[in-house]
Structure 1
Amino acid sequence: MPGGEQITRWPLPPSNKIQNFSLWQLGSSLVIPAVGILSKLMADWLNTVTVHNREILIDALDNRPKGTPLITVCNHHSCLDDPMLWGILDWRHVLNSRIMRWTAAAHDICFTNDWHAQFFALGKTIPVIRGAGVYQRGMDFCLDRLNAGAWVHFFPEGKVNMAKNEFIRLKWGIGRLIAECKICPIVIPFWHLGMDSVLPNVEPYRPKIGQKVTIYIGNPIDFTIIRDKFSSEYKSAVKRRKVITDKIQEQLFQLKPVTERLHVERYQS
């Protein structure tokens, strides 16, 4: 593995057998609703969150064909982005551990000891090693979950972007997953603004209330045509990853100025 760094103690059951691990399922069915309740409290009661095009995400969660994977991607402005952003969902989503998202997180932040590792694993968080490339155990696990028809969320910038206007090229791991999914996934981008006021990126890192957040959900990105071209035009795995990631990056960053305008119109007019 690049850099020589490895995850010595893998905190999750084997992906292809995870539905059969009753003890893990029990733990997850407790952690996910508990965190979901806190997320709803933060989003619905303690702060003001305005969501545009929410129905796009809800429809994908409720009505996508069985077995079709769902990928969501967004910018990353605060360590509280996940889970608080999911407070915009309905109660039937946040309380159901089988419906709720899987997500990837840096192993050196969320998996620093056994207690943290178990909590985040039960919260459907997958450890990845930044700088270890697109072919690592965490990314393989994400692909397995997608092939099982699950929802996986990514912050493709790869880190919290504390400079809002800084351009961070998206990581190619998302490109690998979309390219290699057995079924073309539904990919929904969204942009949010104001989460770094709920949990500032400066010490003492304490959540605040009464803050204003805007979320703008974009239209699903259709990768059917691009995937159909793989065998004839985009033959190398590297080219496939780049083409897909570039398209996501273009679509995602187009949401930024729209979100900023809506935020100003809603809260500063």
Structure 2
Amino acid sequence: MIYFISLSAIFLVMVFIGIFNQKVDWGHPVMNWLDGWNRFCCRWYHGLAIGKIKLPNGPLLLISNHYSGLDPFLLIAACDRPLRFLIAKEEYERPFLNKMFKLAGCIPVDRLGRVEAAFREALKNLKQGEVVALFPHGKIHLADEEFKPLKKGVFKLAALSKSDIHPFHIQGVSMQGTVVSSVFVPGRVKISPLKVYSAQEVQDPLIQHQLACELLGLPEEPQ
């Protein structure tokens, strides 16, 4: 009986934490509960200030540097709107996680094949007024690695949807460069908003280079 009562109490506490900390309506009760737990963990385990990013209404592209596997969870926890992430197809199709990715409205990208389907889906989401989030370096890329330009797809999406680009810089993540370890090692994370660029501005190659430097927290270097 004591064992049953203890399990019931733990279950109720877990339900309460998810419901109490949920800030965004994902359109599904399970995702709403997970939203609460994600915000709870990012705040108390990784030191992130929750709900500090107030995104405007309407379609927009959210981009950031990509230091670890924790990054998308941090951005979701910090924002006040659902984020529709572009993620690698092989990650999207992982057993047990695929259902969650679908409920979250993630968009799978076949990095080894044709990306047109993902591009069309992202454009559809933007035209419906959603926030599409992506890491424009294409994969985990640290500031001390060889400089890489941003993928051109983000600028094409901005042009076709006439959406502003809202960039952010993530810092303070432990175990940078890892996918799994960064999730379990506590840190002191800060997410800083950068200058917002219009769809027209980011068609300039000089602005694209400047944005790539800003995302990594680097001084602008000659191309």
Identify the TM-score tier after normalising by the shorter chain.
0.7 to 0.9
Q: In 1, distance between residues paired with 2:189 and 2:110?
A: 30
- Deviation string for 1:147-173 (max 9, x for gaps)? 111111110111112x43122221111
Gaps of 5+ in 1: 1-25, 94-98, 227-242, 260-269
* Pair 1:86-2:45 in alignment: no
Q: Which runs of 4+ in 1 moved over 6 A?
A: none
Among 161, 166, 179, the residue aligned to 1:188? 166
Higher helix share: 1
Local SS of the residue matching 2:189 = strand
Cα distance, 1:199 vs structure 2:
7.3
Q: Deviations over 1:7-40 (max 9, x none)?
A: xxxxxxxxxxxxxxxxxxx995134323321221
Give the Cα–Cα distance (whole angstroms) in 2 for the partners of residues 178 and 245 of structure 1.
Answer: 14
2:64 to 71, 74, 85: 74
Over aligned residue pairs, what C-alpha RMSD do you find? 3.1
Equivalent residue letter for 1:41: F
Shift of 1:215: 1.7
SS of corresponding position for 1:38: helix
Q: Number of aligned pairs? A: 194
SS in 2 for 1:85: helix
The amino acid across from 1:108 in the alignment is E
Q: What is residue 207 of structure 1 aligned with on the other side?
A: 184
Q: Secondary structure at the match of 2:158?
A: helix
How high is the sequence identity, in percent, across the aligned residues? Answer: 21
Q: Distance in 2 between matches of 1:256 and 1:175?
A: 18
Q: Deviations over 1:79-137 (max 9, x none)?
A: 11111232223xxx3xxxxx401010001123134x4322211122110011435x511
Corresponding position of 1:254? 214
CA distance in 1, matches of 2:207, 2:66: 18
Which residues in structure 2 correspond to 1:158-173 (within 5 Å)? 158-161=138-141, 163-166=142-145, 167-173=147-153
Alpha-carbon shift at residue 212 of structure 1 (Å):
1.2
Paired letter, 1:110 = Y
1:128 aligns with 2:109: yes
Provide the C-alpha distance between the structure 1 equivalents of 2:30 and 2:48, rounded to a whole number of angstroms.
Answer: 24
Q: Distance in 1 between matches of 2:134 and 2:210?
A: 16
Aligned residue identity for 1:214: K
